[in-house]
């Protein structure tokens, strides 16, 4: 309907990540996600966002509620009906409460990441989904992943930030080793009119509704405000270098922990994951025994959890207990930190039965560091969203691990 009159914007939108129907069908439908659709559909579908926004504005940033299979069908959160983020996700076709008929403007309510944003202009609508989204505990409130926070100051689990963490980085929130909870590190780019929209739409040479800024256009965009002679190359290289240093420090800490088990001739256990099929080797237990040191450890995330890829010099015998894990042996094991255990079973973390032990400062620091790594990697825009906060976070985290 919108494209009948807004053909230019429609063609631009078709090039954007917001137009990704396959992602909506993967992340935001009952057939694939079941009850978890109430979580993912908030931002991965147009219908889910429209249903969730009034709830968010009313003060409840938790999952779409109430929710069940009938509600999913009623909302169109099923494979045949789901929409990606279309025009009417951001713009209300029947109301003009705000400029450009945006559904939200200037100030945000408290977001699932645990903070609100103020004075964002048209960019406020971007903050709705572009945040880490992991600060809500159902029935307990909304918290921050910051030191001394009453719920997440000492990480109780191995959750990673959601990959769309641009809002957190822009406002300098949800990073460990950056002062007590509530410390502010807001980007100087907050002075840009309409914040996100000011750069990603108004100054985007590819068009106002493409949103993403192509690598080859970044310097031209920055020069609109900062003048000739400005280049992003140095900032991007510094950010990448510090991220690589931090990643190496985290991986070394985990490797040394596993090496200690090997040198003590102690077996550890994993619940393996296969990225091709999306299957785990067990429903709950860490059912694969490992008594070998890996050649390398690489941090990654699996289903929203901080995870590692363990590579071995020769295949490790594996098992498939009641799932669809396809390997009988492999030299590469993907495993969530919560599936890396001292014995097959364990109570919920924090508990000493986990290899990365959240009951110890060293274990908590590894998880805090990994949280910060993914926060900056996925939300910094190469450092440009908030350069001071980005480098302080990376430097403080590296020093904390040392």
List, in sequence order, every residue forming a beta bridge with 136; answer none if it has no partner: 142
List, in sequence order, every residue forming a beta bridge with 316; answer none if it has no partner: 330
Q: For residue 169, name the pLDDT band (cuts at 50, 70, 90).
A: very high
Average pLDDT over residues 37-64: 97
Q: For residue 53, name the pLDDT band (cuts at 50, 70, 90).
A: very high
Mean pLDDT across the chain, nearest whole number? 96
Q: Would you state the pLDDT for residue 323?
A: 81
Q: Would you state the pLDDT for residue 322?
A: 83
How far does Cα 174 stand from its chain's mean position? 12
Structure tokens at 349: 């973390």
Taking the C-alpha atoms of residue 376 and residue 5, their distance in angstroms, rounded to an integer, is 39
Taking the C-alpha atoms of residue 120 and residue 133, their distance in angstroms, rounded to an integer, is 18
Q: Per-residue DSSP letters for 131-183?
A: S----EETTTEE--SSBT-TTTSS-SS-BPPPS--HHHHHHT-S-TTSSBTT-
Q: What is the 3-state secondary structure (H, E, C) of 191-229?
A: HCCCCHHHHHCCCCCCCCCCCCCCHHHHHHHHHHHHCCC
Structure tokens at 304: 């929203």
Average pLDDT over residues 32-50: 96
Q: Would you state the pLDDT for residue 258?
A: 96
Taking the C-alpha atoms of residue 322 and residue 287, their distance in angstroms, rounded to an integer, is 11
Nearest CA to 348 out of 72, 147, 155, 191 is that of 155
Q: Would you state the pLDDT for residue 28?
A: 97
Nearest CA to 29 out of 18, 40, 20 is that of 40
185: number of Cβ within 10 Å = 17
- Is the pLDDT score of 295 beyond 90? yes
- Is the pLDDT score of 128 beyond 90? yes
Nearest CA to 338 out of 351, 326, 325, 328 is that of 351
Is 138 within 8 Å of 60 (Cβ atoms)? Answer: no
Q: Does the pTM exceed 0.75? A: yes
Longest dimension (CA), the chain: 70
Alpha-carbon distance values, 228 to 193, 220, 222, 224, 231 (Å): 21, 9, 9, 8, 9
Structure tokens at 208: 């106002």
Q: Which residue has the tokens 């926004």?
A: 53
Question: Where along the chain do its domains lie?
Answer: 14-87, 245-371
pLDDT, one tens digit per residue, over 297-348 is 999 999 999 999 999 999 999 999 988 999 999 999 999 999 999 999 999 9
Alpha-carbon distance values, 151 to 122, 131, 155, 360 (Å): 32, 18, 8, 16
Q: Would you state the pLDDT for residue 231?
A: 93
Three-class secondary structure of residue 354 per DSSP? strand
Q: For residue 126, name the pLDDT band (cuts at 50, 70, 90).
A: very high
pLDDT, one tens digit per residue, over 349-396 is 999 999 999 999 999 999 999 999 999 999 999 999 999 999 999 999
Alpha-carbon distance values, 290 to 280, 287, 320, 323, 356 (Å): 16, 10, 15, 20, 16
């Amino acid at each position: 309907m919108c494209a009948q009159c807004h053909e230019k914007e429609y063609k631009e939108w078709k090039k954007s990540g917001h137009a990704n129907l396959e992602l909506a069908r993967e992340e935001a439908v009952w057939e694939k996600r079941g009850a978890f659709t109430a979580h993912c559909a908030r931002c991965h579908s147009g219908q889910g966002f429209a249903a969730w926004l009034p709830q968010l504005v009313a003060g409840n940033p938790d999952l779409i509620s109430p929710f069940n299979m009938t509600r999913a069908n009623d909302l169109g959160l099923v494979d045949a009906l789901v929409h990606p983020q279309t025009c009417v996700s951001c713009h209300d076709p029947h109301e003009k409460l705000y400029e450009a008929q945006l559904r939200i403007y200037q100030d945000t309510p408290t977001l699932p990441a645990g903070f609100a944003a103020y004075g964002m202009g048209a960019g406020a609508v971007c903050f709705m989904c572009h945040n880490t989204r992991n600060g809500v505990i159902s029935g307990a409130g909304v918290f921050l992943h910051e030191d001394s926070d009453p719920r997440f100051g000492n990480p109780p689990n191995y959750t990673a930030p959601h990959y769309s963490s641009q809002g957190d980085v822009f406002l300098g929130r949800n990073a460990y080793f950056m002062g007590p909870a509530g410390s502010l590190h807001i980007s100087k780019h907050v002075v840009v009119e309409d914040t996100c929209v000011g750069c990603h739409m108004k100054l985007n040479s590819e068009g106002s509704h493409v949103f993403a800024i192509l690598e080859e256009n970044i310097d031209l965009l920055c020069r609109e405000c900062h003048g000739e002679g400005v280049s992003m190359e140095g900032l991007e290289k510094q950010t990448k270098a510090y991220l690589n240093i931090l990643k190496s420090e985290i991986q070394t800490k985990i490797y040394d922990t596993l090496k200690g088990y090997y040198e003590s001739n102690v077996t550890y256990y994993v619940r393996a994951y296969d990225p091709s099929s999306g299957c785990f080797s067990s429903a709950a237990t860490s059912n694969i025994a490992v008594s070998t040191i890996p050649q390398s450890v690489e941090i990654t995330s699996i289903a929203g959890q901080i995870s590692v890829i363990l590579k071995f010099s020769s295949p490790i015998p594996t098992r498939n207990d009641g799932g669809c894990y396809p390997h009988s042996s492999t030299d590469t094991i993907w495993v969530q930190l919560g599936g890396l255990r001292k014995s097959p079973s364990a109570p919920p973390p924090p508990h000493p039965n986990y290899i990365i032990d959240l009951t110890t400062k060293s274990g908590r620091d590894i998880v805090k560091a990994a949280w910060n790594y993914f926060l900056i990697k996925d939300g910094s825009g190469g450092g440009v969203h908030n350069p001071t906060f980005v480098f302080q976070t990376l430097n403080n985290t590296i020093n904390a691990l040392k």
